[in-house]
Amino acid sequence: GFTHALATADHAIRAGSATRALVIGADKMTEITDWTDRTTCVLTGDGAGAAVVEACEEPGIGPVLWGSIPEMGNAVRIEGSPPVFAQEGQSVYRWTTSQLPPLARKVCEKAGVTPEELAAVVLHQANLRIIEPLAAKIGAVNAVVARDVVESGNTSAASIPMALSKLVQRGEIPSGAPVLLFGFGGNLSYAGQVISCP
């Protein structure tokens, strides 16, 4: 959700309908966690992250690539009463490890950078088994890879801003360096863009 919202804010500013926007990604995943499902309950966490986006001479947010995979609409979902988070873990794993890398390379191409030029890769913090191999598959061989899922868990819409802020806070990415953000999730929708590190 955060990468979708970031693109929407960027579009509003570029169109002149706003000069400044607050983009927030927040989820309380423990509220919808199925504690009997050992495949998901060990991954979820609660969190929130935000970014202020404003108009400037040099754009700091690249073009977005977004879409969805309709045939995988049930792969990541919230269902039932009371509502609980559920996913088809193997299907999501196969999609992310095979289909996400070419999409991420397309994001880089739209931004006019090569994967080798990326200083960092910040993916949705779904699962370490998904995150770790993807930077190499994308071709981001010089990038720091965010691994906040180890500290915070899968915080859904909050995972990208939280992971990015921790990399920035620790000084792992130089200011102005290109960073790939790529989110994916509910009903297998996705959105990604390259930003300049704040």
Question: HEC string of 147-168?
Answer: CCHHHHCECHHHHHHHHHHHHH
pLDDT at 136: 87
pLDDT at 190: 96
pLDDT at 40: 86
pLDDT at 152: 95
pLDDT at 135: 84
- In the chain, which residues have pLDDT < 70? none
pTM as predicted:
0.95
Cα distance between residue 151 and residue 46, in whole Å: 11
Eight-class DSSP state of 41: T
Q: What fold, for 2-196?
A: Peroxisomal Thiolase; Chain A, domain 1 (3.40.47)
pLDDT at 67: 96
pLDDT at 116: 97
Per residue in 185-196, pLDDT (tens digit) is 988 999 999 999
> Residue 97, CB half-sphere, CA atoms under 13 Å: how many?
13
Per residue in 115-146, pLDDT (tens digit) is 999 999 999 999 888 898 888 899 999 999 99
Q: Of 157, 148, 92, 87, whose CA–CA distance to 121 is shortest?
A: 148
Q: In a 10 Å sphere around its CB, with 0-12 CB exposed, 13-18 middle and 19+ buried, how is residue 179 labelled? A: buried
